[in-house]
Amino acid sequence: MATTEAAPAGFDARKGGTPLERVQFVLHANPILGPLAVLVIAIVAFSIVSGRFLSAANLGLVLAQVTIIAVLALGQTLVILTAGIDLSVGAIAVFSSIIMANLATDLGLPGALALLVGLVLGTAMGALNGVLVTRLKLPPFIVTLGTLSIFFSLNSVVSRSETVRGADMPAIMTWTGNTFGLGGFRVTYGSLIMIVMFAVLYYALSSTAWGKHVYATGDDLEAARLAGIRTDRVLLSVYTVAGVIYAIGAWIIMGRLASASPNIGVEYNLESITAVVLGGTSLFGGRGIVLGTLVGALIVGVFRNGLALAGVDVVWQGFAIGLLVLVAVAIDQWIRKVRA
At 49, which helix (H) or strand (E)? helix 33-49
Q: What is the pLDDT of residue 218?
A: 95
Handedness of CA 286, 290, 294, 295 (dihedral sign): negative
- Asked whether residue 13 is domain-assigned, the answer is no
Task: List the CATH number of the domain containing 226.
Answer: 1.10.3470
- Asked whether residue 322 is domain-assigned, the answer is yes
List the chain pLDDT tens, one digit each, 340 residues.
Answer: 444 433 444 444 444 578 877 777 777 777 788 888 889 988 999 999 888 999 988 998 999 999 999 999 999 999 999 999 999 999 999 999 999 999 999 999 999 999 999 999 999 999 999 999 999 999 999 999 999 999 999 999 999 999 999 999 999 999 999 999 887 788 999 999 999 999 999 999 999 999 999 999 999 999 999 999 999 999 999 999 999 999 999 999 999 999 999 999 888 998 899 999 889 888 888 888 899 999 999 999 998 899 899 888 888 878 888 888 888 778 777 776 765 4
Residues with Cβ within 8 Å of 175's Cβ and at least 6 positions away in sequence, in order, are 189, 255
- Asked whether residue 312 is domain-assigned, the answer is yes
- Asked whether residue 162 is domain-assigned, the answer is yes
- Asked whether residue 11 is domain-assigned, the answer is no
- Asked whether residue 1 is domain-assigned, the answer is no
User: Nearest to residue 200, comparing CAs of 127, 119, 294?
Assistant: 294
- Asked whether residue 32 is domain-assigned, the answer is yes
- Asked whether residue 7 is domain-assigned, the answer is no
Q: What is the pLDDT of residue 8?
A: 42
The structural domain count of the chain equals 1
Q: Residue 209, class by beta-carbon neighbours within 10 Å (0-12 exposed, 13-18 middle, 19+ buried)?
A: exposed
Length of the chain: 340
The whole domain housing 95 covers 19-339
> CA of 109: how far to CAs of 99, 115, 118, 181, 254, in Å?
11, 9, 12, 32, 17
Task: Name the pTM for this structure.
Answer: 0.89
